[in-house]
Structure 1
Amino acid sequence: MRLPDLEAWAIFAEVAEHRSFSAAAEAIGLSKATVSKAVSRLEAQLGQSLFHRTSRRLALTEAGRPLADHAARLLAEARTAEEMARHGASAPMGRVRLAVPMTFGVVNVAPLLPDFLAANPGIDIELHLSDARVDIVAEGFDIALRIADLPDSSLRARRLCSIQVHLVAAPSYLQRAGRPTHAGQLGEHRLLGYTNVAGPWRFKGPDGAEVSVRADGPLAANSGDALMPTLLAGLGIARLPGFILGDTLESGAVVEILPDWRPSPTALHLLTPPSTLRPARVEALIAFLTERLKD
């Protein structure tokens, strides 16, 4: 039985990540010719091209794209195994790449990190803040926190806690447009949409009735924070989590409407790549975040 050419797979993963033979060669300390030969060798073994090559750009072929994900996993697991062998029972060391939604990260995650870093001086964290949904495997993240109902995927997911979502409007909007008394009336109002969550707003009423409403109004944005000025100006109704609303509910700057109609439940999840083989530094941060964010 012929063994797989693991070196060629690893080099292919680096070229796919850097989108350049030269950049990959520099990153792994090999000559460009060696890198090119390894990819050509792998293409010959597979019987198909992995890259479209031109004088100006290098792009994965249709066949190369899914194979690049597999190659990245192979390389990551090999590096993890080496690290585990090197460090053994020693204190966790190295960098952890963590992806977190923007506002939740600033408000709820960043304040926790000093405690973790002080307790784990050998670990450093690269914190990526964005409301866009990242591709954990393709972009090389060790951990991602995501607030959503998760679709089925190959990622490993752990539910940490529920996230309370509020349907709110400024008093000035309600004085002008009237206060809805049934979720079905929301279609008659100006709704501020959050574009990172696909589909209509869904609610369940006190009698079990379910209503779906398409968010259609003067502003849609991929950041909940970006909706706040328009919400506070009294120009529409928004559906936002408490960590974005902050103290605006308590101060009366916005008021909750339709409290008997529950929006679709959502939760905070911790996601990791499919492999169960993880470096000690990643396991340490997973344990810390799980404990500190469970409530």
Structure 2
Amino acid sequence: MDRMTSLRVFCAVAELKSFSGAGRRLGLSPAMVSKHVLHLESRLGNRLLNRTSRHVSLTETGMLYFNQARQILDGLDEVEAAISNTVISPRGTLRLSAPVWIASPYFVEKFERFNQRFPNISLDIDLSGRIVNLVDEGFDLALRATSSERLDPGIVARPLMPVEFNLLASPGYLDRTGRPQRIEDLQGHALLRFSGMGTDDEFSIPGTGGRDKVKMRTVIRSENETILHLAALQGMGLVFLPKWMALSDLEAGRLEFVLPGQFPFSTTLYAVYPSRKYLSGKVRVFIDFMTAEGRSKDAALGREGL
């Protein structure tokens, strides 16, 4: 059997987790799909897929083989397109790792527009909040909000858009504790702390260049911004959040700015991916799309009147 065809069949099964789904995509019968996979397994002397009547999953060897095979096929498609001067419609599953706060109406609207433009690309989004190993775990790219000097030098990073953070709290909490008028008024307030801000109660206020320090009471510390957001809505304390994550709550009055304009701080959202000679079409169009979105006038959600 043709090994390149078998590679494409195997990658389709791995992406769709289905023999019948791979068959429909490639115009093959489930029996022929199975033969191609068995051909590869026989050639390698290793099982690539775990199969049950209801579930298909990659073995450890299968995951390693899939990651390498997909890079080979993506690169081959790019080379053939360049040689023939044709345009290949990007397709397939784009595995993406992203911060928890990507799960917001602001980004879902962007993903919907991306889907309208590229209907043959499906998004598989991991929101665990951990720093994934892109190559070993088979991710195409990750979205990371950080500074350029904290990025791994072994990866490629493309800036997409600014991420503006603000200090927020519920009206109920501020009615109960008082509304700070100066930075020093934050002293002793309850803080819903993101894990990346450290563990000490005394810390430098983000956005002040380390000039201003306050001591606050950490009520909850987590690497998951969603739990901090929900705790702020319950009136448990102050929280730093990306503005777009809390936009509907700000507009509805469920949250309000604390010391607005005094120390907003921002970082950059990067698309990071392993260095490859040939970048797959689905990754390239996603990065280009998000970069264009980042240039739009509402990228940082700097709307007046909030």
* TM bucket, shorter chain: 0.5 to 0.7
Counterpart position of 1:157: 157
What is the TM-score with the length of structure 1 in the denominator? 0.62
Q: Of residues 32, 38, 41 in structure 2, which corresponds to 1:43?
A: 41
| Match of residue 237 from structure 1 | 238
Task: Write the deviation string for residues 247-278 of structure 1: whole angstroms up to 9, x where unpaired.
Answer: 939x8951325988887x63211345654434
CA contact (8 A) 1:105 1:129 kept: no
Q: Identify if the C-alpha distance between structure 1 residues 19 and 175 changes in structure 2 by more than 3 Å, giving closer, same or farther.
A: closer
The number of residue pairs the alignment matches comes to 269
**Are residues 1:216 and 2:220 paired?**
yes
Q: 1:73 to 1:185 in 2, by over 3 A?
A: farther
Contact 1:166–1:239 under 8 Å retained in 2: yes
Q: Does 1:270 align with 2:271?
A: yes
Gaps of 5+ in 2: 300-306
Distance, in Å, in 1 between the alignment partners of 2:11 and 2:125 is: 25
Deviations 1:69-116 (A, max 9, x none): 22222233333334444553x7x8556988783433257x479x69xx
Identify the match of residue 32 of structure 1 among 20, 30, 33: 30
Letter in 1 for 2:197: W
Structure-1 residue corresponding to 2:75: 77
User: Superposition pairs for residues 136-285 of structure 1, below 5 Å?
Assistant: 145-147=143-145, 152=152, 156-177=156-177, 181=184, 185=188, 189=190, 191=192, 199-202=195-198, 203-205=203-205, 206-207=210-211, 216=220, 223=226, 227=229, 231=232, 234-246=235-247, 248=250, 254-256=256-258, 266-271=267-272, 274-278=275-279, 283=284
Residues 5-16 of structure 1 mapped to structure 2, 5 A cutoff: 5-16=3-14
SS of the counterpart of 1:160? strand
Distance 2:67 2:92 in 1: 19
**Aligned-residue offset at 1:158:** 0.8
Counterparts of 1:94 and 1:29, CA distance in 2: 18
Percentage of identical aligned residues: 26
1:65 maps to: 63
- Is residue 225–residue 241 contact of structure 2 (8 Å, CA) maintained in 1? no
Q: Write out per-residue CA displacement over residues 158-177 of structure 1, whole angstroms, 9 at most, x where no aligned residue.
A: 12343221122234313424
Unaligned runs of 5+ in 1: 118-122
Distance 2:77 2:159 in 1: 28
Q: Secondary structure at the match of 1:22?
A: helix
Taking the aligned partners of 2:47 and 2:93, their CA distance within structure 1 comes to 31
Matched-pair contact (CA < 8 Å) for 1:10–1:74: no
Superposition RMSD in Å: 5.0
Query: How many Å separate the matches in 1 of 2:156 and 2:164?
Result: 23
- Normalised TM-score (structure 2): 0.61
- Between 1:95-104 and 1:168-177, the stretch displaced more is 95-104
Cα gap change, 1:210/1:78 in structure 2, threshold over 3 Å: closer, same or farther?
Answer: farther
Are the equivalent residues in 1 in contact too, given 2:50–2:57 (CA < 8 A)?
yes
